[in-house]
Amino acid sequence: MAQHFDLFVIGAGSGGVRAARIAASHGAKVAIAEEYRVGGTCVIRGCVPKKLLVYGAHFAEDLEDCARFGWDIEARSFDWAKLRDNVAAEVDRLEGLYQQTLANNDITLFEARATLKGGKEIALSTGETVTAEKILIAVGARPFVPNVPGAEHAIVSNDVFSLPEIPKRVAIAGGGYIANEFAGIFNELGSKVTIVNRSDKILRGYDESMRERLLHISLTKGIAFAFNSTFRKIEKQDDGSLHLSMDGCDDMHVDALLFATGRIPNTENLGLETLGVETGERGEIKVDEYSRTNIDHVFAVGDVTDRVQLTPVAIREGHAFADTQFGGIDRTVDYDNIPNAVFSHPPIAGVGMTESEARQAFGNQVKTYTSDFRAMKNVLAGRNERSLYKLVVHPTDDRVVGIHMIGPEAPEILQAAAIAVKAGLKKQQFDDTIALHPTMSEELVLMR
Protein backbone atom coordinates (compact mmCIF):
# COMPACT_ATOMS: atom_id res chain seq x y z
CA MET A 1 0.00 0.00 0.00
CA ALA A 2 1.31 3.45 -0.96
CA GLN A 3 1.82 5.84 1.96
CA HIS A 4 -1.02 8.36 2.06
CA PHE A 5 -0.78 11.98 3.27
CA ASP A 6 -3.19 14.86 3.77
CA LEU A 7 -0.67 17.15 2.07
CA PHE A 8 2.29 16.43 -0.17
CA VAL A 9 4.59 19.39 -0.81
CA ILE A 10 6.99 19.28 -3.77
CA GLY A 11 10.03 21.48 -3.04
CA ALA A 12 11.50 22.31 0.40
CA GLY A 13 12.26 25.98 -0.23
CA SER A 14 10.86 29.16 1.32
CA GLY A 15 7.23 28.56 0.33
CA GLY A 16 7.13 24.78 0.65
CA VAL A 17 8.70 24.53 4.10
CA ARG A 18 6.41 27.23 5.54
CA ALA A 19 3.30 25.60 4.05
CA ALA A 20 4.32 22.16 5.35
CA ARG A 21 5.01 23.44 8.86
CA ILE A 22 1.77 25.40 9.17
CA ALA A 23 -0.35 22.58 7.71
CA ALA A 24 1.26 20.16 10.19
CA SER A 25 0.57 22.58 13.06
CA HIS A 26 -3.10 22.45 12.03
CA GLY A 27 -2.98 18.66 12.47
CA ALA A 28 -2.44 17.53 8.86
CA LYS A 29 -0.28 14.52 8.01
CA VAL A 30 2.35 16.13 5.77
CA ALA A 31 5.20 14.96 3.53
CA ILE A 32 7.69 17.06 1.56
CA ALA A 33 10.06 16.10 -1.27
CA GLU A 34 13.33 17.89 -1.99
CA GLU A 35 15.59 16.91 -4.88
CA TYR A 36 18.60 19.03 -3.89
CA ARG A 37 18.96 20.62 -0.46
CA VAL A 38 16.39 21.55 2.20
CA GLY A 39 16.04 25.33 2.45
CA GLY A 40 15.70 25.99 -1.29
CA THR A 41 17.13 28.83 -3.30
CA CYS A 42 17.10 31.51 -0.61
CA VAL A 43 19.01 29.55 2.01
CA ILE A 44 21.28 27.43 -0.19
CA ARG A 45 22.17 29.66 -3.18
CA GLY A 46 20.24 32.90 -2.95
CA CYS A 47 19.48 35.58 -0.37
CA VAL A 48 21.53 34.18 2.52
CA PRO A 49 24.90 33.26 0.95
CA LYS A 50 24.57 36.30 -1.35
CA LYS A 51 24.11 38.67 1.62
CA LEU A 52 27.10 37.09 3.39
CA LEU A 53 29.24 37.70 0.29
CA VAL A 54 27.98 41.30 0.20
CA TYR A 55 29.16 41.74 3.80
CA GLY A 56 32.48 40.06 3.02
CA ALA A 57 33.03 42.23 -0.05
CA HIS A 58 32.17 45.50 1.68
CA PHE A 59 35.12 45.13 4.04
CA ALA A 60 37.22 46.28 1.08
CA GLU A 61 35.74 49.78 1.47
CA ASP A 62 35.71 49.70 5.26
CA LEU A 63 39.40 48.82 5.31
CA GLU A 64 40.12 51.69 2.94
CA ASP A 65 38.05 54.14 4.98
CA CYS A 66 39.34 53.16 8.39
CA ALA A 67 42.65 55.05 7.93
CA ARG A 68 40.84 58.39 8.26
CA PHE A 69 39.42 57.09 11.56
CA GLY A 70 42.91 56.49 12.87
CA TRP A 71 43.31 52.81 12.13
CA ASP A 72 46.54 51.69 10.58
CA ILE A 73 46.04 48.27 9.02
CA GLU A 74 49.44 47.44 7.67
CA ALA A 75 48.99 44.22 5.75
CA ARG A 76 45.76 43.63 3.89
CA SER A 77 45.01 40.51 1.95
CA PHE A 78 41.89 38.71 0.91
CA ASP A 79 41.38 34.95 1.00
CA TRP A 80 38.42 33.99 -1.21
CA ALA A 81 38.57 30.32 -0.20
CA LYS A 82 38.15 31.32 3.44
CA LEU A 83 35.08 33.49 2.78
CA ARG A 84 33.56 30.94 0.38
CA ASP A 85 34.05 28.03 2.78
CA ASN A 86 32.82 29.93 5.85
CA VAL A 87 29.68 30.93 3.94
CA ALA A 88 29.20 27.31 2.83
CA ALA A 89 29.52 26.15 6.45
CA GLU A 90 26.89 28.66 7.54
CA VAL A 91 24.59 27.41 4.78
CA ASP A 92 25.14 23.82 6.02
CA ARG A 93 24.19 24.94 9.53
CA LEU A 94 21.00 26.60 8.30
CA GLU A 95 20.07 23.57 6.22
CA GLY A 96 20.38 21.49 9.38
CA LEU A 97 18.00 23.86 11.19
CA TYR A 98 15.46 23.56 8.36
CA GLN A 99 15.67 19.75 8.49
CA GLN A 100 15.21 19.96 12.27
CA THR A 101 12.09 22.08 11.80
CA LEU A 102 10.60 19.46 9.49
CA ALA A 103 11.41 16.66 11.93
CA ASN A 104 10.07 18.60 14.94
CA ASN A 105 6.76 19.04 13.13
CA ASP A 106 6.52 15.33 12.18
CA ILE A 107 6.81 16.11 8.48
CA THR A 108 8.06 13.19 6.40
CA LEU A 109 11.00 14.27 4.23
CA PHE A 110 11.69 12.43 0.99
CA GLU A 111 15.14 13.32 -0.32
CA ALA A 112 14.07 12.75 -3.90
CA ARG A 113 12.69 14.37 -7.01
CA ALA A 114 8.91 14.21 -7.10
CA THR A 115 6.64 14.29 -10.14
CA LEU A 116 2.89 14.13 -10.60
CA LYS A 117 1.74 10.73 -11.75
CA GLY A 118 -1.94 11.39 -12.27
CA GLY A 119 -4.88 11.52 -9.87
CA LYS A 120 -3.59 11.84 -6.31
CA GLU A 121 -0.40 9.91 -6.98
CA ILE A 122 3.13 11.30 -6.75
CA ALA A 123 6.14 9.42 -8.11
CA LEU A 124 9.49 9.74 -6.34
CA SER A 125 12.90 9.30 -7.96
CA THR A 126 13.61 6.63 -5.33
CA GLY A 127 11.04 4.45 -7.09
CA GLU A 128 8.30 4.87 -4.47
CA THR A 129 4.81 6.13 -5.19
CA VAL A 130 2.80 7.99 -2.55
CA THR A 131 -0.68 9.49 -2.54
CA ALA A 132 -2.05 12.70 -1.04
CA GLU A 133 -5.41 14.45 -0.68
CA LYS A 134 -3.81 17.76 -1.61
CA ILE A 135 -0.61 18.51 -3.50
CA LEU A 136 1.33 21.78 -3.21
CA ILE A 137 3.83 22.60 -5.94
CA ALA A 138 6.59 24.83 -4.56
CA VAL A 139 9.44 23.96 -6.91
CA GLY A 140 10.76 27.51 -7.41
CA ALA A 141 12.61 28.81 -10.45
CA ARG A 142 16.03 28.46 -12.06
CA PRO A 143 18.36 30.84 -13.89
CA PHE A 144 17.34 31.58 -17.46
CA VAL A 145 20.22 31.56 -19.95
CA PRO A 146 19.56 33.03 -23.41
CA ASN A 147 20.27 30.88 -26.41
CA VAL A 148 23.73 32.16 -27.43
CA PRO A 149 26.38 29.96 -29.10
CA GLY A 150 28.87 29.01 -26.40
CA ALA A 151 26.55 29.85 -23.48
CA GLU A 152 27.62 26.58 -21.83
CA HIS A 153 30.95 28.28 -20.99
CA ALA A 154 29.19 30.87 -18.83
CA ILE A 155 28.19 30.58 -15.18
CA VAL A 156 24.96 31.47 -13.32
CA SER A 157 24.44 32.77 -9.79
CA ASN A 158 24.35 29.18 -8.39
CA ASP A 159 27.98 28.71 -9.44
CA VAL A 160 29.38 31.84 -7.79
CA PHE A 161 29.22 30.28 -4.32
CA SER A 162 31.68 27.54 -5.26
CA LEU A 163 34.09 29.37 -7.59
CA PRO A 164 37.66 28.10 -7.19
CA GLU A 165 38.91 31.69 -7.43
CA ILE A 166 37.65 35.21 -8.03
CA PRO A 167 37.91 35.96 -11.77
CA LYS A 168 40.20 38.86 -12.65
CA ARG A 169 37.84 40.06 -15.39
CA VAL A 170 34.15 39.27 -15.34
CA ALA A 171 31.28 40.20 -17.64
CA ILE A 172 27.78 40.07 -16.20
CA ALA A 173 24.80 39.79 -18.55
CA GLY A 174 21.59 41.46 -17.35
CA GLY A 175 20.70 44.66 -15.54
CA GLY A 176 18.48 43.39 -12.74
CA TYR A 177 18.87 42.41 -9.10
CA ILE A 178 21.39 39.64 -9.53
CA ALA A 179 23.53 41.52 -12.07
CA ASN A 180 23.90 44.58 -9.84
CA GLU A 181 24.38 42.64 -6.61
CA PHE A 182 27.08 40.38 -8.03
CA ALA A 183 28.73 43.25 -9.89
CA GLY A 184 29.16 44.92 -6.50
CA ILE A 185 30.55 41.77 -4.90
CA PHE A 186 33.07 41.04 -7.66
CA ASN A 187 34.12 44.68 -7.97
CA GLU A 188 34.80 45.02 -4.23
CA LEU A 189 36.78 41.77 -4.33
CA GLY A 190 39.04 43.16 -7.03
CA SER A 191 37.58 41.91 -10.33
CA LYS A 192 37.31 44.17 -13.36
CA VAL A 193 33.53 44.05 -13.89
CA THR A 194 31.49 44.92 -16.99
CA ILE A 195 27.70 44.79 -16.89
CA VAL A 196 26.30 44.00 -20.34
CA ASN A 197 22.68 45.01 -20.72
CA ARG A 198 20.41 44.65 -23.74
CA SER A 199 18.65 47.95 -22.95
CA ASP A 200 20.00 51.28 -21.72
CA LYS A 201 18.38 51.06 -18.25
CA ILE A 202 19.31 49.05 -15.18
CA LEU A 203 16.81 47.83 -12.56
CA ARG A 204 13.56 48.28 -14.46
CA GLY A 205 10.73 48.99 -12.03
CA TYR A 206 12.86 50.90 -9.51
CA ASP A 207 12.55 54.65 -9.05
CA GLU A 208 14.41 56.45 -11.84
CA SER A 209 16.48 58.64 -9.50
CA MET A 210 17.73 55.63 -7.51
CA ARG A 211 18.70 53.78 -10.69
CA GLU A 212 20.60 56.79 -11.98
CA ARG A 213 22.39 57.26 -8.67
CA LEU A 214 23.43 53.60 -8.54
CA LEU A 215 24.72 53.78 -12.10
CA HIS A 216 26.71 56.91 -11.29
CA ILE A 217 28.21 55.45 -8.10
CA SER A 218 28.94 52.10 -9.78
CA LEU A 219 30.84 53.90 -12.57
CA THR A 220 32.81 55.86 -9.98
CA LYS A 221 33.75 52.62 -8.23
CA GLY A 222 35.09 51.27 -11.53
CA ILE A 223 32.25 49.04 -12.77
CA ALA A 224 31.91 49.37 -16.57
CA PHE A 225 28.58 49.22 -18.42
CA ALA A 226 27.90 48.13 -22.01
CA PHE A 227 24.35 49.21 -22.84
CA ASN A 228 22.17 48.15 -25.80
CA SER A 229 24.52 45.23 -26.25
CA THR A 230 24.02 41.53 -26.84
CA PHE A 231 26.18 38.44 -27.22
CA ARG A 232 26.81 36.97 -30.65
CA LYS A 233 29.18 34.19 -29.62
CA ILE A 234 31.11 32.97 -26.59
CA GLU A 235 34.37 31.11 -27.23
CA LYS A 236 36.61 29.41 -24.71
CA GLN A 237 40.33 29.99 -25.22
CA ASP A 238 43.13 27.52 -24.51
CA ASP A 239 44.02 29.32 -21.28
CA GLY A 240 40.43 28.96 -20.03
CA SER A 241 39.51 32.60 -20.63
CA LEU A 242 36.51 33.60 -22.76
CA HIS A 243 36.33 35.65 -25.92
CA LEU A 244 32.96 37.40 -26.18
CA SER A 245 31.87 38.46 -29.69
CA MET A 246 29.44 41.29 -29.17
CA ASP A 247 26.79 43.27 -31.00
CA GLY A 248 26.42 46.86 -29.80
CA CYS A 249 29.82 47.14 -28.11
CA ASP A 250 33.42 46.04 -28.58
CA ASP A 251 34.27 42.37 -28.20
CA MET A 252 35.54 41.44 -24.76
CA HIS A 253 38.05 39.10 -23.25
CA VAL A 254 37.18 37.90 -19.76
CA ASP A 255 37.88 35.14 -17.26
CA ALA A 256 34.21 34.55 -16.48
CA LEU A 257 30.80 35.44 -17.85
CA LEU A 258 27.82 35.40 -15.48
CA PHE A 259 24.31 35.23 -16.89
CA ALA A 260 21.91 37.14 -14.63
CA THR A 261 19.10 37.31 -17.14
CA GLY A 262 16.10 36.37 -15.01
CA ARG A 263 14.71 33.15 -13.53
CA ILE A 264 12.10 30.85 -15.04
CA PRO A 265 9.67 28.51 -13.25
CA ASN A 266 10.81 24.91 -12.73
CA THR A 267 7.80 23.30 -14.37
CA GLU A 268 9.47 21.10 -16.97
CA ASN A 269 9.10 17.31 -16.59
CA LEU A 270 6.98 17.71 -13.48
CA GLY A 271 4.07 15.71 -14.87
CA LEU A 272 1.75 18.73 -14.96
CA GLU A 273 0.29 17.52 -18.26
CA THR A 274 -0.84 14.21 -16.70
CA LEU A 275 -3.35 16.21 -14.65
CA GLY A 276 -3.82 19.06 -17.10
CA VAL A 277 -2.46 21.72 -14.72
CA GLU A 278 -2.59 25.02 -16.59
CA THR A 279 0.62 26.97 -17.18
CA GLY A 280 1.39 30.37 -18.71
CA GLU A 281 3.81 31.64 -21.33
CA ARG A 282 6.94 31.33 -19.18
CA GLY A 283 5.89 27.92 -17.87
CA GLU A 284 4.54 29.43 -14.65
CA ILE A 285 1.67 27.63 -12.93
CA LYS A 286 -1.50 29.69 -13.11
CA VAL A 287 -3.18 30.14 -9.74
CA ASP A 288 -5.95 32.24 -8.20
CA GLU A 289 -5.68 34.41 -5.08
CA TYR A 290 -5.86 31.24 -2.90
CA SER A 291 -2.95 29.67 -4.85
CA ARG A 292 -5.43 27.16 -6.38
CA THR A 293 -4.64 25.79 -9.84
CA ASN A 294 -7.35 24.73 -12.28
CA ILE A 295 -7.20 21.23 -10.74
CA ASP A 296 -9.14 20.90 -7.47
CA HIS A 297 -6.52 19.21 -5.29
CA VAL A 298 -3.40 20.89 -6.76
CA PHE A 299 -2.01 24.21 -5.49
CA ALA A 300 1.16 26.22 -6.19
CA VAL A 301 3.10 28.93 -4.30
CA GLY A 302 6.31 30.90 -4.70
CA ASP A 303 8.55 31.50 -7.71
CA VAL A 304 6.90 28.70 -9.72
CA THR A 305 3.82 30.91 -10.01
CA ASP A 306 5.94 33.90 -11.18
CA ARG A 307 3.96 36.41 -9.14
CA VAL A 308 6.63 38.21 -7.12
CA GLN A 309 9.94 36.34 -6.92
CA LEU A 310 10.85 37.16 -3.33
CA THR A 311 11.30 34.91 -0.31
CA PRO A 312 8.93 36.73 2.08
CA VAL A 313 6.23 36.56 -0.60
CA ALA A 314 6.70 32.79 -1.11
CA ILE A 315 6.51 32.37 2.67
CA ARG A 316 3.30 34.41 2.92
CA GLU A 317 1.72 32.43 0.08
CA GLY A 318 2.66 29.11 1.69
CA HIS A 319 1.32 30.25 5.06
CA ALA A 320 -1.96 31.56 3.61
CA PHE A 321 -2.45 28.32 1.65
CA ALA A 322 -1.94 26.15 4.76
CA ASP A 323 -4.19 28.30 6.96
CA THR A 324 -6.96 28.26 4.36
CA GLN A 325 -6.79 24.58 3.45
CA PHE A 326 -5.96 23.02 6.82
CA GLY A 327 -6.66 25.62 9.52
CA GLY A 328 -10.15 26.76 8.56
CA ILE A 329 -8.83 30.34 8.36
CA ASP A 330 -9.68 31.99 5.06
CA ARG A 331 -6.52 33.84 4.01
CA THR A 332 -5.07 35.49 0.89
CA VAL A 333 -1.89 37.52 0.43
CA ASP A 334 -1.94 41.30 0.18
CA TYR A 335 0.55 42.24 -2.55
CA ASP A 336 0.31 45.99 -2.00
CA ASN A 337 3.41 47.84 -0.82
CA ILE A 338 5.87 44.95 -0.76
CA PRO A 339 9.23 46.41 0.30
CA ASN A 340 12.19 45.42 -1.86
CA ALA A 341 15.92 45.94 -1.95
CA VAL A 342 18.95 45.51 -4.15
CA PHE A 343 22.02 44.64 -2.11
CA SER A 344 24.40 46.58 -4.32
CA HIS A 345 27.24 48.82 -3.03
CA PRO A 346 25.55 50.97 -1.77
CA PRO A 347 22.17 49.23 -1.55
CA ILE A 348 18.85 50.49 -2.89
CA ALA A 349 15.55 49.96 -1.11
CA GLY A 350 12.01 50.97 -1.96
CA VAL A 351 8.35 50.53 -1.09
CA GLY A 352 5.18 51.65 -2.82
CA MET A 353 4.91 53.72 -5.96
CA THR A 354 7.87 55.15 -7.81
CA GLU A 355 7.60 58.81 -8.75
CA SER A 356 6.64 57.97 -12.35
CA GLU A 357 4.05 55.38 -11.25
CA ALA A 358 2.47 57.94 -8.94
CA ARG A 359 2.43 60.58 -11.69
CA GLN A 360 0.73 58.14 -14.02
CA ALA A 361 -1.85 57.24 -11.40
CA PHE A 362 -2.52 60.66 -9.82
CA GLY A 363 -1.26 63.19 -12.39
CA ASN A 364 1.51 65.74 -12.29
CA GLN A 365 0.39 67.30 -9.01
CA VAL A 366 2.10 64.43 -7.16
CA LYS A 367 4.56 65.86 -4.61
CA THR A 368 8.06 64.56 -4.12
CA TYR A 369 10.55 65.41 -1.39
CA THR A 370 14.18 64.45 -1.70
CA SER A 371 17.24 64.50 0.47
CA ASP A 372 20.57 64.25 -1.33
CA PHE A 373 23.28 63.99 1.31
CA ARG A 374 26.63 62.48 2.20
CA ALA A 375 26.52 60.13 5.20
CA MET A 376 28.73 61.60 7.94
CA LYS A 377 30.84 58.43 7.97
CA ASN A 378 31.56 58.93 4.28
CA VAL A 379 32.43 62.61 4.85
CA LEU A 380 35.13 61.86 7.42
CA ALA A 381 36.35 58.92 5.34
CA GLY A 382 36.76 61.26 2.37
CA ARG A 383 34.48 59.03 0.33
CA ASN A 384 32.60 61.10 -2.19
CA GLU A 385 29.48 58.95 -2.30
CA ARG A 386 26.10 60.60 -1.88
CA SER A 387 22.90 59.00 -0.59
CA LEU A 388 19.50 59.87 -1.99
CA TYR A 389 16.12 59.52 -0.25
CA LYS A 390 12.78 60.30 -1.87
CA LEU A 391 9.24 60.52 -0.51
CA VAL A 392 6.41 60.33 -3.05
CA VAL A 393 3.26 61.99 -1.70
CA HIS A 394 -0.34 61.85 -2.94
CA PRO A 395 -1.36 65.24 -4.42
CA THR A 396 -4.53 65.75 -2.39
CA ASP A 397 -4.72 63.53 0.70
CA ASP A 398 -1.04 63.93 1.76
CA ARG A 399 -0.47 60.14 2.01
CA VAL A 400 3.12 58.96 1.54
CA VAL A 401 2.60 56.47 -1.31
CA GLY A 402 6.25 55.63 -1.91
CA ILE A 403 9.67 55.77 -0.24
CA HIS A 404 12.87 55.18 -2.22
CA MET A 405 16.39 55.22 -0.90
CA ILE A 406 19.96 54.53 -1.92
CA GLY A 407 22.73 54.68 0.64
CA PRO A 408 24.40 52.73 3.44
CA GLU A 409 21.96 50.45 5.29
CA ALA A 410 19.02 51.59 3.13
CA PRO A 411 17.25 48.17 3.35
CA GLU A 412 17.54 48.15 7.17
CA ILE A 413 16.03 51.63 7.36
CA LEU A 414 13.35 51.01 4.77
CA GLN A 415 11.81 47.99 6.50
CA ALA A 416 10.66 50.22 9.37
CA ALA A 417 9.56 53.03 7.07
CA ALA A 418 7.54 50.53 4.99
CA ILE A 419 5.20 50.13 7.97
CA ALA A 420 4.27 53.80 7.64
CA VAL A 421 3.51 53.46 3.93
CA LYS A 422 1.52 50.27 4.49
CA ALA A 423 -0.42 52.03 7.24
CA GLY A 424 -1.25 54.91 4.89
CA LEU A 425 0.47 57.55 7.03
CA LYS A 426 0.62 61.15 5.82
CA LYS A 427 3.57 63.37 5.12
CA GLN A 428 2.47 65.56 8.05
CA GLN A 429 2.90 62.57 10.39
CA PHE A 430 6.46 62.12 9.12
CA ASP A 431 7.03 65.85 9.78
CA ASP A 432 5.52 65.57 13.28
CA THR A 433 8.00 62.86 14.24
CA ILE A 434 11.11 64.21 15.97
CA ALA A 435 14.38 63.24 14.33
CA LEU A 436 16.74 60.72 15.89
CA HIS A 437 20.09 62.42 15.64
CA PRO A 438 22.67 61.83 14.29
CA THR A 439 21.46 59.12 11.94
CA MET A 440 20.93 58.75 8.21
CA SER A 441 17.31 57.71 8.72
CA GLU A 442 16.44 61.07 10.31
CA GLU A 443 16.37 62.43 6.77
CA LEU A 444 13.03 60.65 6.42
CA VAL A 445 11.37 63.08 8.86
CA LEU A 446 13.33 66.17 7.83
CA MET A 447 12.38 66.50 4.16
CA ARG A 448 10.49 69.74 3.53
Ligand X SMILES: NC(=O)c1ccc[n+]([C@@H]2O[C@H](COP(=O)([O-])OP(=O)(O)OC[C@H]3O[C@@H](n4cnc5c(N)ncnc54)[C@H](O)[C@@H]3O)[C@@H](O)[C@H]2O)c1
Q: Please identify every residue annotated as catalytic.
A: 437
Q: How far is the CB of 251 from ligand FAD (least distance, A)?
A: 28
Q: How far is the CB of 65 from ligand X (least distance, A)?
A: 24
Q: State yes or no: 51 annotated in a binding site.
A: yes
Q: State yes or no: 248 annotated in a binding site.
A: no
Please check whether residue 291 is in contact with residue 300, taking contact to mean a CB–CB distance below 8 angstroms: yes
* Region from 261-269, 368-376, 382-390, 439-447 binding ligand X, contact rule CB under 6 A: 261-269
Please check whether residue 26 is in contact with residue 329, taking contact to mean a CB–CB distance below 8 angstroms: no
Residue 174 interacts with which of ligand X, ligand FAD, none, CB < 5 to 8 Å by class: ligand X
Residue 262 interacts with which of ligand X, ligand FAD, none, CB < 5 to 8 Å by class: ligand X
Contacts with ligand FAD, residue ranges (CB under 6 A)? 10-16, 33-36, 40-42, 46-47, 50, 113-115, 138-140, 157, 178, 266, 270, 302-304, 309-312, 314
Among all residues, whose Cβ is closest to ligand X? 176
Q: How far is the CB of 145 from ligand X (least distance, A)?
A: 9
Write the CB contacts of 48 (distance below 8 Å, at least 6 apart in sequence).
42, 90, 91, 94
Contact between 178 and ligand X by CB under 6 A: the answer reads yes
Contact between 140 and ligand X by CB under 6 A: the answer reads no
R_g over Cα of the chain? 24
Give the Cβ contact number of residue 121 at 10 Å. Answer: 18
* CB closer to ligand X, 146 vs 283: 146
- Assign 376 to helix, strand or coil: helix
* CB closer to ligand FAD, 298 vs 366: 298
Helices (H), 280-375: 311-326, 355-362
Contacts 24+ apart (CB under 8 A), 242-246: 242/150, 242/153, 242/154, 242/171, 244/171, 246/196
User: Which class for 397: exposed (0-12), middle (13-18), buried (19 or more C-beta within 10 A)?
Assistant: exposed
Q: State yes or no: 119 annotated in a binding site.
A: no
Q: How far is the CB of 178 from ligand FAD (least distance, A)?
A: 5
Q: State yes or no: 303 annotated in a binding site.
A: yes
Q: State yes or no: 180 annotated in a binding site.
A: yes
* CB closer to ligand X, 14 vs 279: 14
Q: State yes or no: 174 annotated in a binding site.
A: yes
Q: How far is the CB of 448 from ligand FAD (least distance, A)?
A: 33
Residue 198 interacts with which of ligand FAD, ligand X, none, CB < 5 to 8 Å by class: ligand X
Q: If residue 133 lies in a helix (H) or strand (E), which one and from where to where?
A: strand 129-137
Query: Is the omega angle on the peptide bond into residue 438 within 30 degrees of 0, that is, cis?
Result: yes
Residue 179 interacts with which of ligand FAD, ligand X, none, CB < 5 to 8 Å by class: ligand X
- Cα(196)–Cα(194) distance, integer angstroms: 6
324-363 residues in contact with ligand X (CB under 6 A) are 340-343
Q: State yes or no: 390 annotated in a binding site.
A: no
Q: How far is the CB of 275 from ligand FAD (least distance, A)?
A: 14
For ligand X, the binding residue among 260, 315, 388, 410 (CB under 6 A) is 260
Cα dist. 430→309, 329, 369, 403, 421 in Å? 31, 35, 12, 12, 11
Q: State yes or no: 397 annotated in a binding site.
A: no
For ligand X (CB under 6 A), the number of binding residues is: 22
Q: What x/- string results for residues 93 through 132 when contact with ligand X is judged by CB under 6 A?
A: ----------------------------------------
Q: What are phi and psi of 303, to 5 degrees?
A: -55, -30
Residue 190 interacts with which of ligand X, ligand FAD, none, CB < 5 to 8 Å by class: none
For ligand X, the binding residue among 194, 266, 305, 309 (CB under 6 A) is 309
Start-to-end CA span in the chain (Å): 71
- Cα(113)–Cα(128) distance, integer angstroms: 11
Q: How far is the CB of 138 from ligand X (least distance, A)?
A: 16
Q: At what angle do helices 80-104 and 47-65 cross, to 10 degrees?
A: 140
Contact between 174 and ligand X by CB under 6 A: the answer reads yes
186-225 residues in contact with ligand X (CB under 6 A) are 197-199
Contact between 266 and ligand X by CB under 6 A: the answer reads no
Write the CB contacts of 81 (distance below 8 Å, at least 6 apart in sequence).
none
Q: State yes or no: 322 annotated in a binding site.
A: no
Closest CA to 352 of 419, 402, 422, 415: 402
Please check whether residue 304 is in contact with residue 141, taking contact to mean a CB–CB distance below 8 angstroms: yes
- Assign 160 to helix, strand or coil: helix
Annotated binding site: 51, 174-181, 262, 303
Annotated binding site for FAD: 51, 303
- Residues near ligand X (CB under 6 A): 146, 173-179, 181, 197-199, 260-263, 309-310, 340-343
